[in-house]
Structure 1
């Protein structure tokens, strides 16, 4: 067995993308060549230029992965969250995505996503202080 040392990756190593490239080339042997991850980043600002919402995600292997969707409390129930989600899904489809996935804590927006066609496919009970983390997906 070969000896190795595990150390914290340097900023240069992370920025180089070498780790991702190596995994991608391994994956190609199973699913064929596919595009690199494409960002889906949206921000919403009010008339004064203040951020009132946004979405951060990416398309990878033909799925939209939603990392963050946030709407300021003052802008909730006005349709901004639905608009952000809809625009992200539209952009993801234009980038080749056929489905979307996300996770959300039970106190966050599970019902919001369910009303927009997302289905829970798994959860981790008691993830944090007795609250569950739901995993949700939707065909685009």
Structure 2
């Protein structure tokens, strides 16, 4: 019988070392490149401050969109579409064949559907009374 070990908070070095091991395992098992290429876009207002942006990465042939934001007073002017289309183009140039993202039921499901994304999953009660929605698109 092995001794039980204490669970404790991970240091930044622990996180880096464990992620490096997982990445090596994934590369060996899949034969695919799991190198991440960050994709970070912003639109600035007249005051020089970011008013819209998209952050994601390209990994293993997929664009993963983590954040797409447009300040509320600027919505409906095509900024979100501009960011999304630019991200998809850059991802395709980097070798991505598809895109994925998630949103909540009070956010932008219809926006993504209009841009050719399809729902492939819904997680109920995330948060309670709402849904987290998972979408994908072939580029």
1:50-129 equivalence runs, <5 A: 50-129=49-128
Runs of 4+ in 1 over 6 A off after TM superposition: none
More divergent stretch after superposition (71-80 vs 32-41): 32-41
Q: TM-score, normalised by structure 2?
A: 0.91
Q: How many Å separate the matches in 1 of 2:94 and 2:14?
A: 27
**Cα deviation, residue 35, structure 1:** 4.5
Alpha-carbon RMSD across the aligned residues, in angstroms, is: 1.5
**Cα deviation, residue 5, structure 1:** 2.9
Q: How many Å separate the matches in 2 of 1:126 and 1:71?
A: 26
Count of residue pairs the alignment pairs up: 138
More divergent stretch after superposition (89-98 vs 5-14): 5-14
Task: Report what 1:7 is aligned to.
Answer: 8
Q: Structure 1 unaligned runs (5+)?
A: none
CA contact (8 A) 2:23 2:34 kept: no
What secondary structure, in the 3-state scheme, does the structure 2 residue paired with 1:130 have?
coil
**Cα deviation, residue 27, structure 1:** 1.6
Q: How many Å separate the matches in 2 of 1:93 and 1:7?
A: 41
Q: TM-score, normalised by structure 1?
A: 0.90
Q: How many Å separate the matches in 2 of 1:128 and 1:33?
A: 34
**Cα deviation, residue 61, structure 1:** 1.4
Q: Structure 2 unaligned runs (5+)?
A: none
Distance 1:138 1:27, change over 3 A: same
What secondary structure, in the 3-state scheme, does the structure 1 residue paired with 2:73 have?
helix
Q: How many Å separate the matches in 2 of 1:120 and 1:33?
A: 25
